[in-house]
A and B are shown apart, each in its own frame.
Chain A
Amino acid sequence: MHSPENPFARDPHLCSDHAGEGPSIWSLPGLPDALRREWLALETRRHFLGRGMQAFGWAGLASLLGRPLAAQTAASPAVLAPHYAPRAKRAIYLFMAGSPSQFETWDHKPVLQRMFDQDLPESVRGGQVLTGMTASQARFPIAPSVYKFAQHGQAGHWVSELFPHTARIADELCVLKSLHTEAINHEPAILQLTTGNMFPGRPSLGSWLSYGLGAVNDELPTFVVMTSKMPHRTNVQALSNRLWSSGFLSPEHAAVALRSAGDPVLHLNNPPGVSGDVRRAMIDGVNALNRQLFERVGDAETNARIAQYEMAFRMQSSVPELADLSSEPQSTWDLYGEKAKEPGTYAYNCLMARRLAERGVRFTQIFLRSWDQHSNLPRNIKLMAEESDQPTAALVTDLKRRGLLDDTLVVWGGEFGRTCYSQGVLTAENYGRDHHPRCFSMWMAGGGVKPGLSFGETDDFSYNIVKDPVHIRDLHATMLHLFGLDHNRLSFRFQGLDQRLTGVLPAKVIDAILA
């Protein structure tokens, strides 16, 4: 019953989860050989990566050296060099949770101005099922944007008057107007964008990048998440670490979430009376115990735990330096605005994102919530735009003037679109918009994306896509491509499948938006 290569055969009663309880995975009767091999590979890979962060750089070389490239399979150690030379080294994802309406932001629909309060033509909807929140409405009255649009830059992007600062960087932006998704509610839709799947439990995009590329700076996490204070609170989406978890990848690939108030990381300072040396000795002691546990039990999670202690120790010095804004010149505050001095604001987070990019953090994801305007849209979207427009434009401008935009990909967008018809009562000044998965807008800048391009088109009602649809899988495939990764090849064997960010359904790199 015991596998011949079982290194723990001397104690068949150890369990991989709870030392000393239950049978070992090796002694489970009838465990298929394939699963046994998968578990062994997992253990080997994590052990390999767990030798301390210094091993990371070398792991890339060693995995290339140790075997011909062709022999690398999903079960071999993580390949820490991209498949081909990347255009982007880092990404900053500005996640507008709740979903800003495309009608008041990027998808200018002048035809609707002449159709105020008319019913949505049946030919547009084509019998499609509506979401539960508006399906029972007696009418679907068309609500044109109350905000005006104008063309900006050489690119001639149509930009809403809500975003005067962003309008000034129009020529940096590649605006995608034809995103679509299957999800009609926030949690699954956000999960699909952050992890590639509506069901919780998959590794997030940042985790895949960490797994595929390793760290640039061993002193900081590879993947950082920041949530932002909101200018108002309506229909606020819950955020949780399943949006930035590493799923079935090793836990060191999960994001470190920086707190939006007080110290960015709790308990980072040593308690009074505990010196750095004492702390170091303590961690060494704990690690030694953990290594003994690993030798005995062979649970890969133990090595992840050791790596995290080490990361936390290094963050004791790297994070205070990161969060010390005293050396920022006045030009920084002129650009981002005074609000950037207040920890936890969106403006502060944008500035931190630039500082993280400077220090080599691969993936920074900033969440700004409360874009879910089912009612009182004109008033509330204005509050959100006022909070975010200047810092967003500042971030792109700052990255550009510091030479970082070339290899930093910036992404802005929500999780789905909104309806062209009003949810609830429509007046000349007020309306709401329901969820609409069939089309929505995002923009990207830098990192090897074609600047000044508008890609994809929707119909006059921004209801259906008429040209160049972009599924979230295509967006993910394209983002991985910019990092030099082939979405078909970046995989991890789990539960008998070579799992990928883009899953098993067709996904394509959008060549037309590559610079």
Chain B
Amino acid sequence: MPSSPELSRVRRRLALALLLATAPLGAETTFYQDRIGPILERHCVVCHGPEKQKAGLRLDSFAWVMKGAESGAMVLPGNAAGSELHRRITLPATDEEVMPSEGKPLLSREEIRNVELWILGGASATKLVAEFPGAPAIGRPKAAAVALAPDWRPRADEIRRLEAELGVRLVPRSQQPGDGLILRTAGSPRRADDAALARLDPVAELIVEAELARTPVTDAGLAAVGRWTNLRSLDLSRAKVSGSGIAALAGLSRLEALNLTDSAVDAGGIERARALPALRRLWAFGAPGMAAAEARP
């Protein structure tokens, strides 16, 4: 598909255009929001934020920053050299008092300059980016990861009920709700049969990984799996699937990894698997269809 990079570029531009279109018109961001907040978030908030408040200090909002620590103010508006915040971030890496502490990466020169200019400019919550023409650009953290699935949290009751009824587990892949759920069956693989899979429709789009190794799932069960449109990874090792069932997965346009090790999948099934548009990894060791060819696409 030679045109696909071009297509995705177009898609990205379109997405960007939409994003810009939905931002409030004419609302210029403040320097604090655009620069200072993100710098503090990146370097400081893990210890000085909602989770931990070392030295009684929080730096996760303008109000907290200005409130200071147990020991006093962190920022003296207009006086960078006299501000404790500025002093700490500019100490040499070997100094016991340097922040961030414990060997975490120190602020870049550009980041420090932004903090300095902000304090010199009065440590304002409302001044706009345009009012700091001399502020160097700061490296941006990688764009927030794209959500792989909708937020599962509003469906927690449903998830809990399905787990109890079906004897499978639906666990978050990470603490990022957009990372979706893992369908996990290793504890009682026999319970994850075709009938159980068919009942997972209410959470179909939340399942990003399905661990169905050693389950009695057959080709019939794959009809349900084919509706899990956000699936990235599917493990059918030692499941009872043969080959025709793989056709039911054709709609899984995001599936990147498929494990058919020791399944009953034949050569036709492997061909169908190879045709999946996003598939990058395919294993079929021990499956009848593997006898002839190496399955790696």
**A-to-B contact residues, CB < 8 Å:** 53, 57-58, 60-61, 64-65, 68-73, 79-86, 215-219, 329, 358-360, 401-403, 406, 484, 488-489, 504-508
Contacts and interface: CB of A to CB of B under 8 A. Distances in A.
Given A82-B175, A85-B176, A85-B179, A402 B163 contact: no
Given A219-B186, A402-B262, 20 more contacts: A57-B184, A58-B160, A64-B153, A65-B153, A69-B175, A70-B50, A72-B51, A80-B171, A82-B173, A84-B175, A85-B174, A85-B176, A86-B173, A358-B213, A360-B187, A401-B283, A403-B285, A489-B46, A507-B103, A508-B103
Given A70-B51, A219-B187, A358-B237, A60 B171 contact: yes
What 10 pairs between A and B have smallest CB-CB spacing? A506-B103, A403-B283, A70-B50, A360-B186, A217-B186, A57-B169, A403-B259, A218-B187, A81-B172, A401-B285
A511 to B, nearest CB: 11
B46 A488 contact: yes
Interface of B is mostly: loop
A439 B176 CA distance: 38
A86 B261 CA distance: 22
Nearest to B157: A65
A85 B171 CA distance: 12
Contact of B173 (A85, A358, A360): A85
Nearest to A214: B171
Interface in B8-52: 46, 49-52
B286 interface: yes
A398 to B, nearest CB: 9
Contact of A61 (B171, B179, B184, B283): B171
B175 A83 contact: yes
A322 to B, nearest CB: 12
Contacts of B275: none
A488 B102 contact: yes
Contact of B281 (A73, A80, A406, A507): A406
Contacts of A84: 174-176, 179
B64 to A, nearest CB: 13
Contact of B261 (A58, A70, A71, A402): A402
Most buried by B among A70, A80, A329, A403: A403
Most buried by A among B49, B52, B153: B52
Contacts of B259: 402-403
B208 to A, nearest CB: 9
Contact of B285 (A360, A402, A488): A402
A57 B175 contact: no
